């Protein structure tokens, strides 16, 4: 049913070329996720280069999708939430590809591509809510920027959480003086620590600016409905956790494994705000969106 809804959505919203590119990109990211995970777990059988080639091709297809959407007549691009989330995924993919080109790190692709795949899964699952009759998505540029920035920061935190998991596993193995077979391709503790720190430093401003833009997108009167929205609450807690980690690292109060555990705690709120609460409390979501649409 979901596939039918998505199919009808893509047929209604875009032309044949753009729909083809979109499907190629989504399929490609899923394939890249599988290949990169296989390369991590079975390094002797699957090379990570295959995942990277697929990832580059998928990113290209996604870029062509947006180029097509802006070139073709008909439904305005970025007039629905699906495309806004897809745009965030494109930014994230480009950021990952550029970063991996500048500083290659073993094993990170096994988390970056699954992150992109997860974004598309959620996007795919929520597509019906984006295309329901009478719903037009975030037409306002401010709201588009808010969604893009917040989803970008979530993507960055996904990467931070993945690096934190890798760090904790790798650190545990080193402390136990053991060498697990599939962890041989993991980056060093130093690299993972730097990656987590960079993600926090990059993700925190993205989330902060995303929040500010979100608040600005609502009028002062609508602010009263925001605390009732669990998604907003979870995001605020996430923001506070990340501020805490940042300050803790800066002052040296958080050291050893602790900051990485806190990154995982923060990521739980990403999941809650992006997936869990968004799906569980549709009513609260609808109230917020209704308030916005009424404006």
Partner 1 sequence: MNRYCVIGVNHKFAPLEIRERVAYPDRRIPAALRSMREAAQCEEAVILSTCNRVELYAFTSDSDPRERLLKLMADDHGLQPEFLARYIYFHRGRNAIEHLLRVAGGLDSLVLGETQIVNQVKKSYLLAQSENATGKALNSLFHRAFNVAKRLHSETGISSGQLSTSSVAVTFARRVFENLSDKTALLVGVGEVGELTLNYLKDSGIGRTIVCSRTLDRAREVATRYGGDAVPLDLIEDYLPRADIVISQTASERPIFSREMFKQALKKRGWRSIFVLDLAVPRDVAPDVDELPDVYLYNVDDLEQVVAEHALTRSHEIKRCTEIITQEVDSFLAGFQSFSAAPIIKALSERAHAIREAEVSRLLAHFVDLPTDQKAEIAMFAEQLVNKLLHPQISAIKAQSRREDAADSLRLLARALGVDEAATLPNPEAHPQPEKQS
Using CB under 8 A, list all residues that contact partner 1.
170, 174-175, 177-179, 186-191, 252, 255-258
Cβ-contact 146, 213 below 8 angstroms: yes
Cβ-contact 48, 34 below 8 angstroms: no
Which of 286, 207, 290 shows the shortest CA–CA distance to 246? 207
Which of 49, 26, 27, 28 shows the shortest CA–CA distance to 38? 49
By C-beta, is 45 or 283 nearer to partner 1? 45
By C-beta, is 66 or 260 nearer to partner 1? 260
DSSP 119: H
**Least gap, CB of 48 to partner 1 (angstroms):** 17
By C-beta, is 173 or 281 nearer to partner 1? 173
**Least gap, CB of 238 to partner 1 (angstroms):** 25
Helix extents (H) in the chain = 2-13, 16-41, 48-71, 81-102, 109-130, 141-175, 189-217, 230-251, 258-271, 277-280, 282-294
∠ CA 56-62-66, nearest 5°, is: 145
By C-beta, is 255 or 283 nearer to partner 1? 255
By C-beta, is 179 or 221 nearer to partner 1? 179
**Dihedral (Cα; 96, 99, 103, 104), 10-degree rounding:** 20
**Least gap, CB of 247 to partner 1 (angstroms):** 15
Distance CA 143, CA 8 (A): 25
**Least gap, CB of 40 to partner 1 (angstroms):** 16
**Least gap, CB of 167 to partner 1 (angstroms):** 11
By C-beta, is 180 or 280 nearer to partner 1? 180
**Least gap, CB of 252 to partner 1 (angstroms):** 6
Which of 68, 62, 77 shows the shortest CA–CA distance to 22? 62
**Least gap, CB of 81 to partner 1 (angstroms):** 39
Distance CA 220, CA 228 (A): 15
By C-beta, is 47 or 258 nearer to partner 1? 258
Which of 219, 216, 68 shows the shortest CA–CA distance to 144? 216
């Amino acid at each position: 049913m979901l596939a039918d809804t998505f199919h009808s959505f893509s047929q209604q919203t875009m032309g044949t070329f753009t729909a083809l590119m979109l499907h190629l990109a989504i399929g490609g990211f899923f394939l890249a996720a599988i290949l990169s995970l296989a390369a991590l777990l079975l390094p002797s059988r699957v090379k990570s280069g295959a995942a990277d080639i697929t990832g580059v091709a998928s990113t290209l297809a996604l870029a062509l999708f947006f180029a097509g959407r802006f070139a073709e007549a008909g439904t305005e691009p970025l007039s629905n939430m699906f495309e806004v989330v897809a745009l965030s995924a494109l930014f994230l993919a480009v950021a990952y590809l550029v970063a991996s080109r500048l500083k290659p790190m073993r094993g990170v692709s096994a988390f970056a591509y699954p992150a992109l795949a997860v974004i598309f899964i959620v996007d795919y699952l929520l597509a019906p809510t984006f295309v329901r009759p009478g719903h037009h998505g975030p037409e306002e540029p401010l709201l588009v920027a808010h969604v893009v920035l917040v989803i970008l920061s979530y993507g960055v935190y996904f990467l931070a959480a993945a690096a934190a998991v890798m760090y904790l596993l790798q650190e545990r193995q080193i402390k136990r003086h053991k060498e697990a077979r599939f962890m041989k391709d993991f980056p060093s503790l130093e690299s993972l620590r730097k990656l987590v720190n960079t993600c926090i430093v990059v993700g925190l401003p993205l989330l902060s600016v995303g929040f500010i833009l979100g608040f600005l997108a609502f009028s002062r009167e609508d602010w009263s409905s925001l605390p009732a929205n669990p998604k907003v609450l979870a995001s605020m807690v996430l923001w506070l956790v990340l501020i805490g980690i940042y300050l803790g690292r800066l002052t040296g109060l958080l050291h050893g494994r602790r900051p990485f555990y806190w990154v995982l705690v923060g990521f739980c709120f990403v999941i809650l705000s992006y997936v869990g609460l968004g799906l569980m409390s549709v009513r609260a979501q609808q109230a917020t969106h209704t308030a916005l649409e009424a404006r």
